[in-house]
Amino acid sequence: MLREQENKSAFELAIDMAPQTEAPNEAIRRCMEFLESHQVCCECLQTLRLAISEAIANALEHGIFRLPSALKEDLFYSRVDWLNEKMAESDQGQVTLNLKLMFGEDSPQEINAVKVEVTDSGPGFDWRTYLKDHTMPPAEKIYGRGLALIRLYASHLSFNEKGNSIQFVIPCQRDSADSNCPSK
């Protein structure tokens, strides 16, 4: 179930999401509609779709359902089924997604970045160790890329003290050939 929060400006979107089967896809779809309605450039839309999807997946898998990363290797072929089963059974937990459009000082009408925050109701994790030691995993490893990808594309990445909320900023630059983005 999704619920958009009231009292946000026209340049912000906030979604509360219960961990139910269609909620992640619906939240991502709603984010893309919001971003497209504000004419966010195509390259930025695709980067945001990837980063938001990874952040939501981490919030659900690790925050709400507490799936240890090492088990992802064992669950690789059935991970989607496992996650859907957990969401179908779940009546607890919450994920909140906030987007905020950021405008340039030189051109206050043009979006130059999107700030994203994803918070889950889980216990959090040791983000200090992650930020200190984390690099992209080797190609043969089938998990562990989500935060590394976000880190690769974000101009800013941080976590709250508890480690159950990630904040990142994805820069957006309008390309003159970007007027009709086929993002759907």
Cα dihedral 118, 124, 130, 136 in deg (nearest 10): -50
Could you name the CATH architecture of 2-171? 2-Layer Sandwich (3.30)
On the question of pLDDT at 57 being above 60, the answer is yes
Q: How many CB atoms lie within 10 A of CB 112?
A: 19
Do residues 94 and 17 touch, judged by C-beta distance below 8 A? yes
On the question of pLDDT at 11 being above 80, the answer is yes
Do residues 46 and 56 touch, judged by C-beta distance below 8 A? no
Entry pTM: 0.84
**Helix-strand-coil percent breakdown of the chain, rounded to 5?**
40, 20, 40
| Alpha carbons 18 and 140: distance in angstroms, whole number | 33
Q: How confident is the model at residue 98 (pLDDT cuts 50, 70, 90)?
A: very high
On the question of pLDDT at 74 being above 90, the answer is no
Give 101-156 pLDDT, tens digit per residue.
Answer: 998 887 778 899 999 999 999 999 888 887 776 677 777 776 778 888 999 999 99
